[in-house]
Amino acid sequence: MLKPIKTNQECEQALERVYNLMQKNIKPNSKESDELEILSILIKEYESTVYKLPKA
């Protein structure tokens, strides 16, 4: 089940799942392609809040 990423450990698990999904030959519009897209969004959101870049 997909859920928001709240800890670094959860982020690492999500990254591992993304890596595993990317090793497969996923068909567009499949459950796995949707999972990959959602995980990518969740990881990006988590990292953008935890690892804020200083303003230039």
Q: Inform me whether the pLDDT recorded for 11 exceeds 90.
A: yes
Could you list the residue range(s) of the whole structural domain that residue 10 is in? 1-41
Report the amino acid identity of residue 1.
M
When pLDDT is averaged across residues 12-17 and rounded to a whole number, the result is 97
Please return the burial class of 8, using the count of CB atoms within 10 Å of its CB with bins 0-12, 13-18 and 19+.
exposed
With cut-offs at 50, 70 and 90, classify the pLDDT of residue 53.
confident
Residue 52 forms part of a structural domain: no
Which pTM was predicted? 0.87
Of the two residues 49 and 55, the one the predictor is more confident about is 49
Residue 36's pLDDT band (cuts 50, 70, 90): very high
Residue 51 lies in a domain: no
Number of domains the chain is built from: 1
Answer yes or no: is 56 within a domain: no
